[in-house]
């Protein structure tokens, strides 16, 4: 490659890199206003453990990257072509190769064990008995939520029953489903475990809340009901779909409100009562 063309390609790659960084920053700026270059604040109980794993991998790979690049550049300079010095050929070193293969292998197996344990412990282990279950329906392009009503029990549901008149696929023969009520926002009490029962009406969507460090795909034709978490910070959050699910994907989101238990009980009572009234006057379908 000539000097001229290598300069041009260097300039081009610099421009592409800058453009990528700028677009990444803009994409983030659209949702977040703080911590643009780092992870958003943690707002769930297990989130800190997940962050620890992330930091560990980040600093480990970052350290290894810097170290190998330093050695690489050092060798480039030390063994560069010079007058009067002959290039020699190395047949390698079995012991060295064994060591630098064994160490990364051990690290990767360790990471596998550590993250597998976290995946189970933080997000998938059986939830505590006081867990509230909320139904989540994902569709092109939005989310809808269903709460258990006064009996605190969502009741049985089946993906085969999902339809226009039964968005959550509730089993009509299960009386526990009768007092369920729907909501357009995900209202959650602070410090209380919540399990989400995820269903999709059409294509693959996702349940993604960066502040909770929670991510789960929502797959049509199956119910995913093992994901649970405990919000630990009051405030508003955004539930976002993280699977490119169609033309309106960019706008597929829902509001999450983490409120005090007192405020939640008040909201729950009002919504629950309104749903019962609506069910009494018209066929069961509330907004």
Residues 179-208 that bind Cu ion (CB under 5 A): 205
Between CA 11 and CA 21, with CA 16 as vertex, the angle to 5 degrees is 125
* Residue carrying the six token digits 């294509």: 203
Note whether 154 binds Cu ion by CB under 5 A: no
Q: Which is nearer to Cu ion, 201 or 205 (CB)?
A: 205
| Contact window for Cu ion (CB under 5 A) among 12-20, 58-66, 236-244, 263-271 | 236-244
Strands (E), the chain: 132-139, 142-147, 181-183, 186-189, 194-200, 205-209, 214-218, 224-229, 235-240, 253-259
CB of 219 to Cu ion, least distance (A): 12
Q: Which is nearer to Cu ion, 175 or 251 (CB)?
A: 251
CB of 243 to Cu ion, least distance (A): 6
CB of 269 to Cu ion, least distance (A): 32
Strands (E), 62-163: 132-139, 142-147
CB of 61 to Cu ion, least distance (A): 31
Q: Which is nearer to Cu ion, 233 or 242 (CB)?
A: 242
The three-class DSSP label of residue 40 is coil
From the list 186, 227, 241, 284, which residue makes contact with Cu ion (rule: CB under 5 A)?
A: 241
CB of 226 to Cu ion, least distance (A): 20
Q: Which is nearer to Cu ion, 198 or 241 (CB)?
A: 241
Residue 11, exposed/middle/buried by CB under 10 A (0-12, 13-18, 19+)? exposed
* Residue carrying the six token digits 């592409």: 16
Note whether 240 binds Cu ion by CB under 5 A: no
Note whether 245 binds Cu ion by CB under 5 A: yes
Query: Do 134 and 146 form a contact (C-beta atoms < 8 A)?
Result: yes
From the list 43, 239, 240, 252, which residue makes contact with Cu ion (rule: CB under 5 A)?
A: 252
Q: Which residues contact 207 (CB under 8 A, 6 or more apart)?
A: 136, 138, 196, 198, 214, 215, 216, 217, 218, 227, 239
Q: Which is nearer to Cu ion, 117 or 222 (CB)?
A: 222
Q: Which residues contact 197 (CB under 8 A, 6 or more apart)?
A: 133, 134, 135, 136, 154, 157, 223, 224, 225
| Contact window for Cu ion (CB under 5 A) among 45-53, 155-163, 239-247, 273-281 | 239-247
CB of 205 to Cu ion, least distance (A): 4
> Where on the chain is the footprint of Cu ion (CB under 5 A)?
205, 241, 245, 252
């Amino acid at each position: 490659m000539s000097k001229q063309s290598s300069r041009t390609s260097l300039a081009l790659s610099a421009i592409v890199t800058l453009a990528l960084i700028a677009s990444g920053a803009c994409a983030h700026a659209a949702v977040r206003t703080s911590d643009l270059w780092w992870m958003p604040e943690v707002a769930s109980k297990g989130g800190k453990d997940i962050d620890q794993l992330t930091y560990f991998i980040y600093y480990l790979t970052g350290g290894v990257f810097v170290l190998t690049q330093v050695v690489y550049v050092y060798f480039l300079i030390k063994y560069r072509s010079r007058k009067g010095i002959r290039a020699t050929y190395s047949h390698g070193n079995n012991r060295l190769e064994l060591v630098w293969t064994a160490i990364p292998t051990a690290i990767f197996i360790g990471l596998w064990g550590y993250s597998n344990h976290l995946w189970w412990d933080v997000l998938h282990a059986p939830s505590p008995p006081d867990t509230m279950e909320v139904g989540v329906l994902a569709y092109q392009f939005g989310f809808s939520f269903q709460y258990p009503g006064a009996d605190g029990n969502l009741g049985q549901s089946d993906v085969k029953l999902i339809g226009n008149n039964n968005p959550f696929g509730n089993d009509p023969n299960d009386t526990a489903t009768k007092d369920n009520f729907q909501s357009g926002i995900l209202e959650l009490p602070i410090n209380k475990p919540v399990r989400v029962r995820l269903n999709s009406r059409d294509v693959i969507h996702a349940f993604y809340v960066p502040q909770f460090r929670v991510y789960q795909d929502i797959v049509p034709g199956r119910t995913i009901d093992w994901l649970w978490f405990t919000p630990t910070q009051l405030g508003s959050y955004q539930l976002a779909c993280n699977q490119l699910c169609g033309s309106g994907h960019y706008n597929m989101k829902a509001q999450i409100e983490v409120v005090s238990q007192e405020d939640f009980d008040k909201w729950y009572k009002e919504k629950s009562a309104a749903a019962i009234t609506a069910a009494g006057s018209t066929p069961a379908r509330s907004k």
